[in-house]
Chain A
Amino acid sequence: MRSRQAAIAIRLILIVAGLGVAGFLYAFPLYWLIATSLKSKAELYQSITLFPRHPTLQPYYSVLFERGFWVLLKNSVLVCAATVLVTLAVGLVITYPITRLTVPPSLRVGVLNWALSLRFLPPVAVVVPYFAIVRTLQIYNQPIALIGIYSLFNLPFAIWMLKGFLAEIPLELEEAALVDGANRWTSFRRVLLPLAGPGLMAAATIVFTFAWSEFLFALILTATPNSQTFPVGVQGLVTQFEIIWNDMAAAGVIAMTVPLLLMVIGRRYMVAGLTFGVIREK
């Protein structure tokens, strides 16, 4: 009896210790990013402390205004918003017929399979020829170059998410409108779109988040604050010649704040989006 109790106690301790370690590993990196972002430049030259000695918001000011990164934030918002619009529009055009109209199942499966395959397109293999296209079209260092490629890469997510949402709306609602004399376009606009609103919102959030994080294309296709997005700016602070870890950390915090805020809305759909609808909220 004693030994059994001891065994249980040991197991409990092990579990608690394991959870403690996991929690620490999970949270510490984030804490350290924030802590570093609150340190002054002078503090970086003193020995490391786990807490900022004199917390200051100076690094944030420095990043956003002295370095002018607010312009990059603006670019990011513009590029991501445009990407969302293009992706959702194209996504709706593709998903509407396969979910709302009678089509052969093979067509439906074919379209969805094809969209899924786009998810496996490795960006670095696409960036080589895409750069040649951008050069030819003379859209280098223009937001449009990013919007185009981001829309393409986010389309699979949008198609699969919208397909899920549209399929859930009963066909009868639209048909009722059709019977009342509305044409397809009106019933799409008046009946389907409002009902699909939450789904569109969810897809928009996810696409925005993914586009926000993109770095490789932005690194290659932009040159000046005319089109540079925020992640490019963040990367630019990782330098070997200067000690600006506080600014670097502050930029990192800003970069992750936006998607985290969006997750307040989109968190319920995040996993569904990432798994193409396999994991759903019930």
Chain B
Amino acid sequence: MSHLVAELPVPTGTQPGRTGRGGRSRQERLAYRILLPALGTVFLIVTIPFVIAIWQSITSDDGTLIGLRNYTRALGNPLFFDALRATGLYASIVLPTEILLGLAFALFVHRTVKQAGLRATLYVLAVLPLVVPPVAVGVVARLIYAPGYGVLNYVLQSVGITHSEIQWLGVPALAMGSVASVDIWQWTPFVYLVLFAGLQTVPRESIEAAQVDGATWWTQFRYIELHYLRPLFLLILFFRVADVLRVFDHVYILTGGGPGTATQLLSLYIYRIEFRFFDGGQAAALAVMVLVSISILYSLVTRALPLERA
């Protein structure tokens, strides 16, 4: 088992140009002949739903145009803002916790664990939660938090920390904490893996030089390692924000959005509008708004991402 490294793009603007021996234009034409049909098809497949969503959002069930009425209804629904707030709260619990915990582990393992075998084992252990289906994680969480049979209350009571049942899924703040804990369990290892790989790219010489100068672990982190990790933080944030917006499975199973609407994240809210209330117009308006805002967000931040696009 060899080790993981972060492969960041070379900052210079020139791409390693590949000059094929065959005629460049002939190759290019071939490339287009292969690419265009495939890309065109996929592009259509991606675009059609978007067009349909727009169409659904400005028509009523019988197909008559109703302008932006669905949008005003969607925006006039206080539950929509509850959902935004819940999503924001969820993100603000989950992201900092995962990043801090992941960073702590990455630093700890990087500094103290030197045996390749142990590192490899930790790698496998960290990959494991990432592949567990969120539905299964939701089931586990129910077995832990659910009232009556949740094992957490049993453990807390038998250790003597509490004396009555805590309603993990019944109190809004605790329920939010419970669904967030599931995310943290599943995704902290991801942050760990990325940052740990990032730490491997720090040149040994600069660390050794710093140590000679008597740098503490903090200054070493603050002035050397952090510099190398910075693009990775951005990457993590980007992927995790995208994921938070699509979180559905484990929340659906654990709380279904309750109590009340405390854990009704945006994705659950749209699901509820479309598939519980069957308000297709409003759901389509919401879908369009989400798609548009995601596209804007994406085009704003994508350039800053440390991805090898060559």
List residues of chain A with CB under 8 Å of any chain B CB. 15, 22, 25-26, 29-30, 32-33, 36, 44, 48, 50, 90, 93-94, 96-98, 101-105, 107-109, 111-113, 116-133, 148, 152, 155, 171, 175, 178, 184, 209, 212-213, 215-216, 220, 231, 234-235, 237-238, 243, 245, 248-249, 251-253, 255-256, 259-260, 262-263, 267, 270-271, 274-282
- Given known pairs A122-B294, A249-B143, the reply for A102 and B307 (CB within 8 Å) is no
> Using a CB-CB cutoff of 8 Å, which residues 226-245 of chain B contact chain A?
232, 235, 239, 242, 245
Contact B35 A111 (CB under 8 A): yes
State the majority secondary structure of interface residues on B.
helix
How many pairs of A and B residues are in contact by the CB < 8 Å rule? 271
**Interface pair B132/A259, CB less than 8 Å apart:** yes
Most chain A C-beta atoms within 10 Å of own C-beta, residue among B35, B133, B298? B133
Chain B residue numbers with a CB within 8 Å of A148 are 45
Size range of the chain B interface in the assembly: 35 or more
Report whether A128 and B140 are in contact in the complex, using a CB–CB cutoff of 8 Å.
no
Residues of A within 8 A of B116 (CB): none
Q: Is the CB of A238 within 8 A of B50?
A: no
Chain B residue contacts of A105, Cβ below 8 A: 15, 310
| B residues near A96, Cβ cutoff 8 Å | 34
Establish whether residues B139 and A124, one from each chain, have CB atoms under 8 Å apart when the complex forms.
Answer: no
Instruction: Give the shortest distance, in Å, between A100 (CB) and chain B (any CB).
Output: 9
- The answer, yes or no, to whether B79 is at the interface (CB within 8 Å) is no
A-B CB contact pairs (8 Å), 7 listed = A101-B20, A102-B24, A108-B309, A129-B284, A215-B249, A252-B135, A267-B124
Q: Which residues of A contact B253 (CB under 8 A)?
A: 235, 238
Asked whether B127 lies within 8 Å of A25 as measured between CB atoms, the reply is no
Q: Which 4 A-B pairs have the closest CB atoms?
A: A97-B31, A213-B133, A129-B49, A252-B139
For the complex formed, measure the closest distance between the CB of A115 and the CB atoms of chain B, giving whole angstroms. Answer: 9
**Interface positions of B from 132 to 155, Cβ below 8 Å from A:** 132-144, 149, 151, 154
B124 and A274 contacting across the interface, CB-CB below 8 Å = no
